[in-house]
Structure 1
Amino acid sequence: MEVLPMFPLGTVLLPGERLPLQVFEPRYIAMVDNCILDDDPRFGVVLISRGHEVGGDDVRTDVGTIARIASCVPIPGNRFGLLCVGEDRVRVSRWLPDDPYPRAEVEVWPDEFDGDDAVPLARVLDAITQLDLVWRELAEQSGKSVPEFNEPELPDDPSTRSFVLSAGLPIGETDRQRVLSAPGPAQRLTALAESLDDVVAALRFRLQ
């Protein structure tokens, strides 16, 4: 268990993803000022399930990701430009008072073994193929260019592979939170496949 500064956002950060941020709100300027004094500047990122990023009074999810600050550049107007990298997944045990910025007691949540991921992996790869096909049909129908999805090189490690596949796919933030919150890679890929099936179904409806 450790206490981390927290940055609730309207987006989900997955382990391994890059997250560019422009920080301007005074409480988060103070947070960055403190973070960059550390040898390993980090903070937690969680999704705001209800409310807004600016001003507080938000409702936050209890599963997030540690973001390590890879670069920090001052911007005119008392702002910071950050480039962060998602690292460990964490669960929030307890929120502390937002004084002067959000903080929480968190524990790292490693993936649990939840079975062979071969079947859900095949489902995801098939859904990606279907997504590419329906995108091409829509592009031909509308005369627009075809959206590109470059399938990444997949690692051997099941957990890393499930996050690499999840990053960059056109699913909503609620679905990305489901992916992040899955206990292990097999259930994560199942959630991802279900989300992609919904996207494909919605695009096919547009074709009609």
Structure 2
Amino acid sequence: MPMNPRYRSPVDLPGVIPVFPLAGALLLPRGQLPLNIFEPRYLAMIDDALRDGHRLIGMIQPDGVTESPRLKPALFKVGCVGRITQLAESGDGRYIIELTGVARFRIEEELTVNTDYRQCRVTYAPFADDFVARKGEDAVDREALLRALTDFMTANDMTADWDDIKQAPTEALVNGLSMMSPYGAPEKQALLEAPDLKTRAELLVAITEIELAKGNVEGEPPLQ
């Protein structure tokens, strides 16, 4: 989705951002992630992001530590910042938003803040290539990716709009399939941290082939 501001390099993004820890949620550059916001602390986070004008939220996964009133879960070090590009009020106190991914970040420090939501000092420098749309597309084995997708959908009795899939740019295809994949938090984190588009595509194919192999084991159903 096109955005009004253009982010050309790490210096175009703030060094401190609010973060939204959400297990299993994957945002990648130029991908769209819909979110249903209902917790008061995250409603406040959205309000503050809109009020401050930057409209940026850092999506990141907790590392698996159970959250409690006295203990915040540790976070993975790498996430992806997204801009709020759509927002609707549900009428019952919720926000329905869509984030469009801008660039990945690495947490340098979690700050002590007065807000109920968490904020971190981050760097985007390790992911400068994220600011270049469609970088590395020519290195992706698109046919292998489509074969893996076809096999997965066949094994799970799923259908797709193949005309749209075949016409999609390779970056949108790789990142979109990674974001929509039904895999667990470790797999999603590995896809996020892949150094380039080619590696992400190869990893997605490998994970899919592993899941298909598991489904072929007698007595084990395919992943749904």
TM-score for the superposition, normalised by structure 2: 0.72
- Partners of 1:40 and 1:62 in 2: CA distance: 22
- Structure 1 contact 22–82 (Cα < 8 Å) conserved: yes
For residues 165 and 7 of structure 1, the distance between their equivalents in structure 2, rounded to whole angstroms, comes to 22
Residue of structure 2 aligned with 1:89, choices 104, 122, 125 = 104
In the alignment, is residue 110 of structure 1 matched against residue 125 of structure 2? no
Aligned to 1:163: 175
- Larger deviation: 121-130 or 49-58? 49-58
- 1:195 to partner: Cα distance: 0.7
For residue 128 of structure 2, what is the amino acid of its counterpart?
P
The reply on whether 1:49 has 2:58 as its aligned counterpart is no
Q: Is the 8 A contact 1:111 1:183 kept in 2?
A: no
Residue equivalent to 2:210: 198
CA deviations on 1:18-70 (whole Å, 9 max, x unpaired) are 22223233322221121111334111000112145785621211111112112
Runs of 5+ consecutive residues of structure 1 not aligned to the other structure: 136-145
C-alpha contact 1:25 1:54 (8 A) present in aligned 2: no
Higher normalized strand content (fraction of residues): 1
After superposition, where does 1:102-141 map in structure 2 within 5 Å?
A: 102-108=118-124, 109-111=127-129, 117-119=139-141, 121-135=142-156
Gaps of 5+ in 2: 1-13
CA distance in 2, matches of 1:115, 1:78: 42
Q: What SS is found at the alignment partner of 1:57?
A: coil
Q: Indicate whether 1:148 and 2:159 are aligned.
A: yes
CA 1:69/1:54 → structure 2, altered by over 3 Å: closer, same or farther? Answer: farther
1:33 aligns to 2:54 (yes or no) = no
Give the Å deviation of 1:115.
11
The amino acid of 1:80's aligned partner reads Y
- 1:106 CA displacement: 1.5
Runs of 4+ in 1 over 6 A off after TM superposition: 112-116
How much does 1:92 deviate?
1.5
Contact 1:154/1:164, CA 8 A, preserved across alignment: no
- TM-score of the two chains, using structure 1 as the length reference: 0.77
- Name the CA distance, whole Å, in 2 between partners of 1:47 and 1:188: 18
